[in-house]
Structure 1
Amino acid sequence: MSQRSKDEAAIKEILLNMAKAWNAGDGAGYAAAFLDDATYISFDGQLAEGRQVIQDVHQMLFDGPLKGSKMDDQHHGDPKIRFLTDDSVVVISVGGVSFGESAETDPDRGSIISITAVRHGDTWRLASFQNTRRQAAYQQ
């Protein structure tokens, strides 16, 4: 397996682990892959700066309004991974959450995310994350 393929697999594993942490209601697990000084922009334009803040905000959400929500932990819409350098990538992925017994994403919570990841020693870490609600495609 080439180094690039290994890197792509590691980045996909980060997305999978984030979804699993979401499903467990685990703010620390969700934030684990972020750099200490990472930025996170939520779907509604709120900015969280730093892994600890990202962790704390998500734990508050998991304990409150997003309690019991589930994220698809099998894939993130086959993320598009674009290498900027050997040590930095931009990832575009889709996702969403569901509530209750339904496994289908709540149509009001479908998102497209943009992530910047950087190699940090032997691992990859998230430097930035932006979550935007999905809209209908542009019409030409």
Structure 2
Amino acid sequence: MVVDLHPHTGEESQIRILYHNLLSAWNKRSAADMAHLFSEDANMIGFDGSHLMGQEEIGKHLATIFFHHPTGSFVNIVRNVRFIAPEVAVLNAVAGMIPPGKTDILPELTAIQTLVSVKDDDHWRISIFQNTPAAFHGRPEEIDKLALELRREMRESFRSEKSAQGF
């Protein structure tokens, strides 16, 4: 369930859409769709610390994950998007994971996500994506706070989806 409820304009919207497409591809378990969003020389650092280099390696790694493991669905909140150059943007977000067959996120699977995107030939591509566990060592209240925030976003997104469908 990846929904952006806040309208944005121009280039920032394109970065948010790129991130939305990344998480949507994960939620659909589509390694090909995910890999296609990365630049040829991209880097991805996974939740478990895996460091992958290049679009092809990223795609193969994701295909292996989807083949061998049941994966949950992401719920996210974009914290900010900032441009560090006209054709380079950084998106910071938090995300929670809803395990397969469940309806709630697991706080221990929350993450801080950073996406660096580069514009190439009028198309934004992911150059770096890092998915870091939100462990908050020694601060369990921070984990609870983040989980509560993600749950609120999840409920709001669900309400918005139902409202848009006429329910």
TM-score (norm. length: structure 2): 0.71
Q: CA deviation at 1:79?
A: 3.5
Displacement, 1:92?
Answer: 0.8
User: Relative to structure 1, is the Cα distance of residues 30 and 96 closer, same or farther in structure 2, using a 3 angstrom cutoff?
Assistant: farther
Match of 1:70 in 2: 73
Q: 1:44 aligns with which of 34, 44, 48?
A: 48
CA-atom RMSD in angstroms: 2.0
Aligned to 2:23: 19
Q: How far apart are 1:6 and its partner, in Å? A: 1.5
Q: Which runs of 5+ in 2 are unaligned?
A: 1-7, 140-167
Once residues 45 and 63 of structure 2 are traced to their aligned partners in structure 1, the CA distance between those partners, rounded to angstroms, is 16
In 2, Cα distance between equivalents of 1:97 and 1:59: 19
User: Percent identity of the aligned residues?
Assistant: 25
Is 1:5 paired with 2:9? yes
1:61-140 equivalence runs, <5 A: 61-65=65-69, 67-72=70-75, 76-136=76-136
How many equivalent residue pairs? 132
Query: Matched residues in 1 for 2:137 and 2:85: separation?
Result: 30
Deviation at 1:43, TM superposition (A): 2.1
TM-score (norm 1): 0.84
Distance 1:134 1:29, change over 3 A: same
- 1:33 equivalent in alignment to 2:71: no
Structure 1: runs of 5 or more not aligned: none
Larger CA Rg, structure 1 vs 2: 2
Change (3 A) 1:137 1:45: closer
Query: Whole-Å Cα distance in 1 between the matches of residues 68 and 48 of structure 2?
Result: 17
* Per-residue CA distance 1:19-64 (angstroms, 9 max, x = gap): 2211221101112210001011112322100011111111111112
Alignment check: 8 A CA contact 1:25 1:63 kept: no
Higher-helix-fraction structure? 2
